[in-house]
Amino acid sequence: MNFTKFKFILIFVSFFILGSGSVKAFDAPETFSDLAEKLSPSVVNIATTSVVKQRQQAAPSFEDFFNFPFNAPRQSGPTEKTVNALGSGFVISADGYIVTNNHVVENTTDIQVTFTDGVTMEAELLASDKETDLALLKVSTDKPLSFVEFGDSDTAKVGNWVMAIGNPFGLGGTVTAGIVSARGRMLAGRYDNYIQTDASINRGNSGGPLFDLDGNVIGVNSAIISPSGGSIGLGFAIPSNLANNIISQLMTNGEIKRAWLGVRIQEVTDEIAKSVGLNKTYGALVQGLTAESPAAIAGVKEGDIIVEFNNKEVESQKILPRLVAEAEIAEVASVKVWREEKFIELSVTLGIQPSAEVLANIESNVSTISIKELGIRVKGITQDDRSRLELGNNLSGVIISDIDPDSFLVRQGIAVDDIILEIQGKKVQNSSDLLTVIDDVIAQGKENVLLVFYAGQNAKKYIGAKLSVK
């Protein structure tokens, strides 16, 4: 589209709106000055110091825009240097608790906050949550500080006016205004639920507040999408309802505890939906379950498609982790799954999400099953296996954990870590699938099965194996 055509379209749209008697115009507030004056004392500039390793920076697309170094330009190479960076934050209590983004203060050696009156204080990082990119700071003060409160982000509708205050490019106390452009944006994180705004925010705004016209914080400005590093009207804020919950936990417990279902999931494609008889493409396909997890105990099975969680539709795989995280620990959640061309309602008592280290340990110790007829032991594919073997998340099957040196499969080049995809033309989702088919073959008086192994890069290896029925 050339400039002339673009200008024509702008003129045309303006003419249409002005000429239509059915469209009602809603004026912007006459001024934001009173609101800005009232709220600015509660917004702080944050300056951090950290030691980082130098590396060549790739061209940006999705930017965490707080990091505005004001020392020498970056250089390629593994050397270390001190980096000063700027961000924003806001005070939520008179005694000095401050909210900002985790990426503003992560791995820093020094945090300084500066108020609108020029007073600078050293801040302590009390706790943070990397998953939601939130952090809680504390300054010591002898006098009560001006503070702001979280509002209800669910009331922020698309088209509502909002105001941002922050420290873009080190220019503290900068006020910008715009509207809520969209809700429920998902960018890169598991729990993303961003409010999108066209209020101008740039590097240095990160961690600052997004206000409604009542002066309540409805979002924490966190990211922009920009090809250049500057604002193009695509800013994203963490909703206050999520932020308030996380900050409350950090303030009370110093850590975050989330509800846990215990499933490994993948996206439902059009092809998958059609193959299982779903009338539309939605939900999260259960690729695997953690042993003794809440979902496993409640009867969720591999191959199930979770279409609703607590009566909320699972529009896509990405939605489910956020819905589970928003639920209460020990809550009995309703889970609707699609299984064998019918809906099944299950009740799941949610657990506490294990740490990444604990979960990895759980999954690495998944019980193995002996398939003596083939001289192998197999187990489900864990996330550790997928990372270690670069399998991706869409591959389903069982992995060989041990193999008898005398097994026929060894002579066919099969080894530990090879993956069985199919047996006798049937897909293998778990170990019991193998046992069921082998038992059926033996019951029919047969001795041979056709196995399909994963050979890498979406290739398959077919092997006719003779069963040992001693």
What are the catalytic residues?
Answer: 103, 133, 206
C-beta neighbour count of 149 within 10 angstroms: 12
Query: Measured on CA atoms in the order 54, 55, 59, 65, is the torsion positive or negative?
Result: negative
- Which contiguous run of DSSP H or E holds residue 89? strand 80-91
Pinpoint the alpha helices (H) of 232-381: 240-253, 270-275, 294-298, 319-326, 356-364
Q: How far apart are CA 180 and CA 409, in angstroms?
A: 61
Residues 6+ apart with CB under 8 A from 409: 374, 375, 376, 403, 463, 465
Measured CA to CA in angstroms, residue 140 lies from 67, 91, 137, 168, 409 at distances of 26, 12, 10, 25, 68
Q: What is the number of residues in the chain? A: 470
362: left (phi over 0), alpha (psi -120 to 50) or beta: alpha
In the chain, the amino acid numbered 9 is I
Closest CA to 304 of 259, 343, 275: 343
Q: What is the DSSP string of 266-297?
A: EE--HHHHHHTT-SSS-SEEEEEE-TT-HHHH
* Locus of tokens 């006719």: 464
Distance, in Å, from the CA atom of 157 to the CA atom of 180, rounded to the nearest integer, reads 7
- Which residues make Cβ contacts (< 8 Å) with residue 19, sequence separation at least 6? none
Residue 222 has, within 13 A of its CA and on its CB side, a CA count of 30
- Bridge partners of residue 85, in order along the sequence: 48
Instruction: Classify 76 as helix, strand or coil.
Output: coil
* Cα(290)–Cα(380) distance, integer angstroms: 10
Q: Distance between CA atoms of 334 and 345, rounded to whole angstroms?
A: 7
Q: How far is CA 297 from CA 146, 324, 333, 407, in A?
A: 49, 16, 13, 35
Q: Give the separation between CA 393 and CA 268, rounded to whole angstroms.
A: 12
Angstrom distance (rounded) from CA 390 to CA 381: 12
Q: What is the dihedral sign for C-alpha 240, 241, 244, 250?
A: negative
